[in-house]
Amino acid sequence: MKTTMTLGLALTLTQACWADGSPWLAEPGNTQLIIAQVQQSADDIYKNRDSKALQDVTPLSELVQDTTWLGVNYALDYDLALDFKTGYARNDEETGLTDSSVGLSWRLVDEFISYSNVPSTVLRAAVILQGDYQTGSPSALGDGADGLELSLIMGRFITPRLALSSEIGYRKRNSGVADDAFYKLAGYVLASPQLSLSLGYSHTNALEGINIGDPGFSDGDVTNFHKLEEDVELVDLGFSYNLLPKLNLGFNAARVIAGKNTTQSDVYALTMDYTL
């Protein structure tokens, strides 16, 4: 049997993975409340795969969006957990409720009680519910589509202070929005009993859609940004601090390093999570 995870690293893992599930589920009956304040900004955009100034492609010289997220994770039993996420976003042009998600995670393997050396493995299914906002413009808060998501998440503690995780999945949506295939890789380090660090990479690949400027992208003054073939590669660096036994504070900084038909965004997030 492997050594169980330390508290500080466990909180980092939960915070870093909360939006899309985690290979490490909480103890049955535990409820975690998470609040995140996120700002993303961009003044450049990938037109197809070519980097252009945002004002050369859209009426905007800069796009800044602030989003307040609320998340709840609840462990139904040892191998099942529910997660819920919703938010409210605003920029200079739009305000409204974001897309929300409800997910169910089923643990297939627990590395701490397995003798097979297989990483902790979770199968997660989620429903995506479109938010309350207008679509089509470059400042739209989302793509305006309902959908389903299925992913396989794996994680392993290399040492009591070092862990790795990965996720691979597929997202299907309606309303003419492209389906996505995606994967994520992340590493976590416990720097001290209270301070933990994380480094992650994610790649989302739209499987269809149109390019900016192609036929079907615009019709007069109406544009279809939500129907683009939008690919995103993102690198994320974060840290979390265990302020109290049940209270964790975190900060993440991320950047879009490559993509297609997407803004070259810088993203900053402050998070607070509390375990009931």
pTM of the model: 0.91
Would residue 233 count as lying in a domain? yes
Would residue 199 count as lying in a domain? yes
Would residue 250 count as lying in a domain? yes
Would residue 21 count as lying in a domain? yes
* pLDDT at res. 3: 33
Per-residue pLDDT of the chain (276 residues; tens, 9 = 90+): 333 333 344 444 444 444 568 999 999 999 999 999 999 999 999 999 999 999 999 999 999 999 999 999 999 999 999 999 999 999 999 999 999 999 999 999 999 997 788 999 999 999 999 999 999 899 999 999 999 999 999 999 999 999 999 999 999 999 999 999 999 999 999 999 999 999 999 999 999 999 999 998 987 777 899 999 999 999 999 999 999 999 999 999 999 999 999 999 999 999 999 998
Torsion of CA 167, 172, 177, 182, to 10 degrees: 10
Considering its fold, how many domains does the chain have in total? 1
Would residue 258 count as lying in a domain? yes
Digit-coded pLDDT (tens) for 21-52: 899 999 999 999 999 999 999 999 999 999 99
| Cα dihedral across residues 226, 173, 206, 44: positive or negative | positive
What distance in Å separates the CA atoms of residue 34 and residue 249, rounded to the nearest whole number?
10
Would residue 1 count as lying in a domain? no
Would residue 26 count as lying in a domain? yes
Residue 125's SS3 state is strand
Instruction: Give the DSSP letter of residue 24.
Output: S
Going by C-beta distance under 8 Å and a sequence separation of 6 or more, which residues neighbour residue 243?
194, 249
What distance in Å separates the CA atoms of residue 173 and residue 149, rounded to the nearest whole number?
9
Would residue 154 count as lying in a domain? yes
State which residues form the domain around 183.
Answer: 7-275
CATH of the domain at 36: 2.40.160.40
Instruction: Give the DSSP letter of residue 27.
Output: P
